[in-house]
Structure 1
C-alpha cells in the first residue's frame, strides 16, 4: 500500500514519529466507552503484525480498539484481513483497519471516522461478498464519530471507484510470494488441478475440475467432496478471469465452503517458469500459517 495516503497534522503526533494521517478532535465515548481490564500501554508495532507494520507510525496502544489485550491475539486476528488489503478495494482499507487493530499511541484515543468506515465498507463489501463474507457487525460504521476528532483520509487522496475491480478478485494474478502465502492461509483448502469445464449459472460461474487432483491443504474438505468438487465464482459471470479462459493449464486453486457451496477464492497458473511461483511453492513447504480460524472475522 502506498505511503502517500498519510499526511502530518503538525503538533498532534508528539508521541509518534513519521505518522502521516489526518485527524479531527473527538471524545472518548464512542464504541461504547472501552472499559479495559488493564490500563492501555504504548508498545512497538512488531514486524510480524504485517497488516500495520510500516503503516506510518511505530507505536500502538494495547489493548486495541477491538479489545485485544495480547499482541499474539492482535497478530492472529489482523492476519485474517491482509488478503483484503491486497485486493485494493479502497485506498483507505489499511488506514481504517490499523486504526482499530493498532491504534496510534497518543494522549487520547483516536477512532476512525464514520465517513472513512463507510467508504471502505462500500468499496470492499462487494469483494468480501464474492468470497462469502458479510461486512462484520464489529465494524458497523454508526459506532464511529463523524464530527469530532477521528482518523480520516486526507483531502486529495485518489480513491478507486466503489466496489470496482479490473478482474474477478479471486483471479487477481499480480501477487507476490508473501501475498500468495497469506491468501493460501486464509483459504480453507488448496489443491493442484486442471479445469474440465466452466459454465455460467445466474450471476455465478461454475468451475468444474478434472477428476485428477493433488491436495496441498485439505482443511475441512472431505474425500467425498473432493471427488465431485465444483467451485463457484460468486457474482463472477461477467468480470474477466484470464485463468478460466484457458483450460489446458494446471492451476493452484484455493477455496472455502459457504453454506452448501464451495467458493473459488483464488486461482494461479501452475507456472514453473515463474520465479515468484517457484519461490512460493518452495516456501510453502515450511511456511507456518497464522492460527486464525477464518478470514475477515
Structure 2
C-alpha cells in the first residue's frame, strides 16, 4: 500500500480544449517490450551502453512494492543502467516512506527509480515533485539531507504527459503532524520496515546511553557501552568516544530518550564529521516485532547501502 491510503497511479494527459483527457488506472497500462532500435538513445536522447528493457520490479526493491504496476524500464529516468545500481540507490529512500510526509512520495520516487513500461519515458508532473518536496524536505532535514539536485522540480514537465496521483487530499498541502515528535523517534516497530531501515542506514548500533545533551539546535547522545550490528563509516579513532547527534532534535520530543535505562537500537549515517541518527528504538526483547527483526538480521544479509541524497 502507498502512504496515505488508496492512491491510484495516473498518467495525466494534457490536450487542447477540444479533446477529453483519459486517466488510466494501473490495470490499464499496456506494458511494452522495448525493441533494440529504441535502446541506446531512449530517454531524452541520452546515450546508454545497453538497450532499454522492460523488466519485473524485483522483490528486493522495497521502495516500489505496491506502487501500482509490476514492471519497470532499465535504464531508468535517473540514469541507472543496472538493477544492482537501482537497488543500492533506492535503498536510501525507503525510511522516508514510513514518515508519511506526502501521499504521493512513493509514486513520485518510483516514477523515476522504476518507471512504468510505456513506449516513451513519462516523467512525474512538476506539481507532484513540488508537493512531495514541500512535504518531505522538512523531514529530510532532520536526517541531515537537503532536497537533492537530481530531483530539482523545474526539470519536470508542467504541460506535457506526466505522472501524477489522485487521492482525496493529494493536491493539498500535507496536514500538520499529529504530534511534534522528532521524526527519528516516531516510527512504530514493524519487523520488515525496521529491517529495511537498518539496511538503508550506514551504521546500526546496540548501545547503552550515559547522557543526552542539547548542542545548539541538535541533541547529542553520549554513549556508555556499544556494540556494532553494522559499523559502516565509523572509524576506529572515533569508536572509543563516539557521540551521536539527533539533528534538529533539541526541542522536539523523543519519548524513547525520556528514560535512559536499558538498551537502545540506533540507526544512522555519517554526515561530514558527525554521526547522525535516523532512528532511535528501545531494545525491547518483549516486543514480538522486534524479535522478528532480530531473527531477520541473523538470517539475512543487507545489500551494500549507497546514499543518493548527496
Same fold, judged at TM 0.5 (above) = yes
Residue among 83, 94, 101 paired with 2:113: 101
Distance in 2 between residues matched to 1:295 and 1:272, nearest whole Å: 33
Match of 1:119 in 2: 131
CA RMSD of aligned residues (A): 2.5
CA contact (8 A) 2:7 2:167 kept: no
CA contact (8 A) 1:125 1:163 kept: no
Distance in 2 between residues matched to 1:71 and 1:240, nearest whole Å: 39
Q: Residue 208 of structure 2 aligns to a residue in which SS?
A: strand
Distance in 2 between residues matched to 1:131 and 1:215, nearest whole Å: 20
CA 1:68–1:165 in structure 2 vs 1: closer, same or farther (change >3 Å)? farther
CA contact (8 A) 1:189 1:220 kept: yes
Match of 2:14 in 1: none
Residue among 249, 262, 268 paired with 2:262: 249
Match of 1:17 in 2: 27
- Aligned positions, number: 284
TM-score, reference length from structure 1: 0.86
Distance in 2 between residues matched to 1:254 and 1:121, nearest whole Å: 24
CA 1:205–1:39 in structure 2 vs 1: closer, same or farther (change >3 Å)? same
Q: Residue 195 of structure 2 aligns to a residue in which SS?
A: helix
TM-score, reference length from structure 2: 0.82
Match of 1:24 in 2: none
CA contact (8 A) 1:89 1:165 kept: no
- Aligned pairs (5 A) from 1:37-186: 37-154=49-166, 156-158=168-170, 160-161=174-175, 166-186=180-200
Q: Which runs of 5+ in 2 are unaligned?
A: 12-20, 30-42
CA 1:75–1:215 in structure 2 vs 1: closer, same or farther (change >3 Å)? closer
Q: Which runs of 5+ in 1 are unaligned?
A: 20-30
Provide Cα deviations, 1:41-96, integer angstroms capped at 9, x if missing partner: 32222222221132111222222111222222222222221111122221111000
CA contact (8 A) 1:233 1:263 kept: yes
Residue among 178, 188, 206 paired with 1:192: 206
